[in-house]
Amino acid sequence: MELKEALRISISRQIADLIATSLINAPEKIKELIEIIGSNDEKRSARATYVLMRLDEEQPALLYPHLDRLIELLPGIPYINSMARVIRVFINAPIKERHEDVLAGVCFDLMERKLREVSPKVYAMEVLYRLSGKYAEIKTELAALIEAGMPTGTAGYKNRGTKILKKLKKRTGNDQC
């Protein structure tokens, strides 16, 4: 089945896994998946990011040749959860220096938004924590944003936020981030 056609209708995790497996077996088609993410078809794009997430869990290195394009597309992705799935790739993927500004900007934007969903903020925290190892000024802003969200945050937000704050404090060697 053609990839675009497979993403025409709502997909389950099982279908997303089947599509991801087919892409693992034919990695030349990953470029098509990335282009669907960047298309004007918002629902198909959202489904494609779900497949991207499943592919990242199975074979993350297959996405590395496409990281430049994912960064290009990231600011224009219309759905927050779709954006989060793309950001999730960068929790472990190599981040090129030329991508750091865009990635940090998108992640800080997500951290500042009032969102019901916890995953976009959790993934943004993780990526910003990675970047804070290189850029000390990120530590203070990230810590402030996490702490600001704690009183109203979900259990998942508080759990991850607490872990990131502990890692930030350990990295700085004191209680002030």
pLDDT at 116: 84
CA distance linking residue 3 with residue 19, whole number of Å: 8
pLDDT score recorded for residue 175: 54
For the cut 70, the answer to whether the pLDDT of residue 16 exceeds it is yes
pLDDT-derived band at 40 (thresholds 50, 70, 90) equals: confident
pLDDT at position 78 is: 85
The C-alpha atoms of residue 150 and residue 12 are separated, in whole angstroms, by 32
Please compute the mean of the pLDDT values over residues 6-22 and round it to a whole number: 93
User: What per-residue confidence (pLDDT) applies to 107?
Assistant: 98
169 burial type by CB count under 10 A (0-12 exposed, 13-18 middle, 19+ buried): middle
The pLDDT value given to residue 1: 57
CB 74 within 8 A of CB 67: no
- Name the nearest CA neighbour of 78 among 43, 125, 119, 30: 43
Q: Give per-residue pLDDT as tens, 46-95.
A: 999 999 999 999 999 999 999 999 999 999 998 999 999 999 999 999 99
In this predicted model, what pLDDT tens digit does every residue of 128-150 receive, in sequence order?
Answer: 999 999 999 999 999 999 999 99
Q: How far apart are CA 22 and CA 26, in angstroms?
A: 6
